Structure 1
Amino acid sequence: MKIWQLKSTFNGFETLGLLDFDSAFVKEKVERENIFRVYLDESLVWMVFVSDAFKKVVESNNLSGLKFIEVWDSES
């Protein structure tokens, strides 16, 4: 299972800094979710994360305006 950061290609916001995503994602919790946000150090991370399933639906329907950045892989 992979987790992707969802970004709109219509805004200029970029992720700042490096986050420890290994401590943010718990496979048993995120594998049931398709779109979500996470808490790191008790603060909400203002990024949207999506599952492989969500990414595949977007791509198979040729939707545009979204960019996916892989941030975590449960197999790694």
Structure 2
Amino acid sequence: YKASASRPRSEGSGLGLSIAMENAHIHGGDITAANSPDGGAVFELRLPRDAEKLAHHDEPGATAPDENGAT
């Protein structure tokens, strides 16, 4: 998607990446943003493949798994 150059620009609220990061963390994942060498931005969302690793994540007092799936 590329917005029209004639589209009015706004400052926005700046909450999009913060909300996306919270959602990723809730699901045991992470999100990163970087500049693309070709211009623009690159966003990478990583979520665990194995739902069993998250089974106890919803329990009170449980912590999110780390990058290796350990809590």
Q: Which bracket does the TM-score occupy, shorter chain normalised?
A: under 0.3
Structure with higher Rg: it is 2
Q: Which has the higher contact order (CA 8 A, sep 6+)?
A: 1
Structure showing the higher strand proportion among its residues: 1
Question: Structure 1-normalised TM-score?
Answer: 0.24
